[in-house]
Amino acid sequence: MAIPAYTTLFEAAFGAESVNATNLAKALAAFERTLVPRDSSFDRYMAGDDDAMTTSQIRGLHGFISQGCSGCHSGPMLSDYKLHNLKVPARIGETGYGESVFPEAEGGAFRTPSLRMVTRTAPYMHNGVFETLSETVDFYHNIDHHIKVDPLVEGDVEVAHGQGDDILVFFEALSDGTFDRTIPERVPSGLPPAGGR
């Protein structure tokens, strides 16, 4: 390989002759797993600390469940890891707002994303069509119930007016954990390390 330091590091982690796409994906996935904070307010609340979330965050959690969000955003990662077609609108300038880039016939389904750290991961949806979380929650408010959104989800998914605010506050409880944000001084490629947020 062109950069010997990577060969040495790959061999230390995966054994001889191990610089390949599969191991690269595994290495990136192992790194990404370290970015999942374990001690968010939500985690502490779920572990039994009733004071870990504020009253409006708890209301938001209940709204999140009662309005059907947890039908897909379930479990510790707030994802069922399944594909769903929500008919997310296209970005302006792609095919025209409101028209999906991926028509249903071609399979416009995307895997439910985790909502951990969600307040820090704008823009939202596969195409980044929504700049803010409030726009994203509004999308669910305005979702067209005449379209059968997803056969896996029973009942309506609907954010009642006014309840979206609590859900937004609840998202903060998913996003305040700590994890190692150290940026290495240098990397084997010699390129300047990115990051800093």
Q: Looking at beta carbons only, is 157 or 187 nearer to ligand HEC?
A: 157
Distance of alpha carbon 164 from alpha carbon 170, whole angstroms: 10
Q: Looking at beta carbons only, is 13 or 83 nearer to ligand HEC?
A: 83
Give the other-Cβ count within 10 Å of 27's Cβ: 16
Q: Looking at beta carbons only, is 19 or 58 nearer to ligand HEC?
A: 58
Q: Looking at beta carbons only, is 10 or 84 nearer to ligand HEC?
A: 84
Distance of alpha carbon 56 from alpha carbon 169, whole angstroms: 7
Please report whether residue 168 would count as binding ligand HEC according to CB under 6 A: no
Stretch of residues binding ligand HEC (CB under 6 A), selected from 11-19, 26-34, 37-45, 132-140: 132-140
Contact between residue 127 and residue 88 where contact means Cβ atoms under 8 Å apart? yes
Distance of alpha carbon 135 from alpha carbon 124, whole angstroms: 9
Distance of alpha carbon 96 from alpha carbon 114, whole angstroms: 28
Distance of alpha carbon 197 from alpha carbon 181, whole angstroms: 8
Please report whether residue 84 would count as binding ligand HEC according to CB under 6 A: yes
Please report whether residue 41 would count as binding ligand HEC according to CB under 6 A: no
Which residues in the 45-64 window bind ligand HEC by CB under 6 A?
Answer: none
Distance of alpha carbon 140 from alpha carbon 163, whole angstroms: 12
Stretch of residues binding ligand HEC (CB under 6 A), selected from 14-22, 31-39, 47-55, 131-139: 131-139
Q: What is the binding site for ligand HEC (CB under 6 A)?
A: 67-69, 71-73, 84, 86, 88, 110, 112-113, 115, 118, 121, 124-126, 133, 136-137, 140, 149-150, 153, 157, 159, 167
